[in-house]
Amino acid sequence: MQANSHEVRFSLPSLEVAAKVWGDADGLPVIGLHGWLDNAATFDRLAPHLSGIHLVALDLPGHGLSGHMPAAGYSLWQQAATVLQVAESLGWKRFALLGHSMGAIISGILAGSLPDRVMGACLIDGLLPFTSEAEEAPRQMARFFDASLALADKRKPVYDSVAKAVDARARGGNTALSHEAAALLVERGLMPEHGGWTWRTDPQLMLPSPMRLTSEHAAAFIEAIQSPVCLVLANQGVMHKHPQVVERIERFAHITRHDIDGGHHLHLEEQAEEIATIFDSFFAKLA
């Protein structure tokens, strides 16, 4: 696929969603979904190595160049509903998904809920959401209320140079990545502020979820998937840090799994071409 992408905008009922597009319009229709606090540039290194697909990679609401949702508007199912609205705008009754991390979780929810719409999914280091059981719901909701009240007093960091923002993103805690990879995400994720630069990201995305699915709920979505799924797990990524989650994934016989050395954003690193080879084979079977 060509290295260059072009920009599109979708004017949805509640907000505008931005996207990057790769490939010819007659290719296999694929919607790309990035991870939490990332944006459509997450596929900048992977997409040029893919072939035969028409990839529309979204900035999910609250991220990148897309608009922000109303208060408490960032549940997984609300994000999934936005993806479906984009598919409707494109006239795609059947489509495949390409998701990383949170985007992979949203893909699983869509594929399990609408098997007649989703023809297949390629997922990167993500599948099951963080869960909590019913008895934990009041405590989880209290965390959300406390954080919501405190949000008004918080201010986004302002960097006096783009280079400092890139450095901050590269060091990003449990999901650290190379400066080259961070620069791709930062370019789409910054805006001018008081003579410097700050994040476009909606601060509400930092709030804890008011309600989480139970482990039974989460598994039910994955078990309901009828289309093929190709899952790449990063050996040094997020999911392998939770052996109980990986063990649960092994029980889903309808998911083809590939384990590759690399961190959580390995598709933005040197492993991009290796992952593209795996996904190319998968997408070719769907076409």
Indicate which residues carry an active-site annotation: 101
238 secondary structure, DSSP code: S
- Rounded-to-integer distance, Cα 167 and Cα 161, Å: 10
Number of CB atoms found within 10 A of residue 194's CB:
8
Mapped to the 3 state alphabet, what secondary structure does 174-232 carry? HHCCCHHHHHHHHHHHEEEECCEEEECCCHHHHCCCCCCCCHHHHHHHHHCCCCCEEEE
Q: Which residues pair with 29 in a beta bridge?
A: 54
Tokens 């260059």, residue located: 4
